[in-house]
Amino acid sequence: MKAIEQYNNPAHPAAGYQAKVASEGRDTRYYDDNQWIGIAAIDVYQRTKRKGYLELAEKTYRLMMTGFDTVSGGFIGARGI
């Protein structure tokens, strides 16, 4: 998990992982990329029961839900914020 944290962007409305290392400046956070991180984190959590992976999945879920669009019937696009 240390490697991925260098991409963490804690900006509002929810923290998530951006396309480039955060030390190089702010960048786009893509919903689909973060969703894959969340899926992988849930998989590891189910196998290991290590709470850090559950927290990682919850973090990516919070970001994903900022893109929820009720007008489009619940669609979440790929490009984040």
What single-letter amino acid sits at 3?
Answer: A
In a domain, 29, yes or no: yes
Average pLDDT across the chain, whole number: 91
In a domain, 45, yes or no: yes
The pLDDT value recorded for residue 67 is 85
Q: 59: which 2 tokens?
A: 């973090």
Domain count, the chain: 1
In a domain, 37, yes or no: yes
How far lies 1's CA from each of 6, 39, 43, 56, in Å? 9, 14, 14, 9
In a domain, 77, yes or no: no
pLDDT digits (tens, 9 = 90+) for 43-80: 999 999 999 999 999 999 999 888 888 887 777 777 66
In a domain, 16, yes or no: yes
Residue 13 domain boundaries? 2-65
The pLDDT value recorded for residue 21 is 97
**Torsions phi, psi for 25 (to 5 deg):** 115, 170
Residue 39 pLDDT exceeds 90: yes
In a domain, 57, yes or no: yes
Q: Residue 56: how many CA atoms within 13 Å on its side-chain side? A: 24
In a domain, 74, yes or no: no
Q: pTM value? A: 0.84
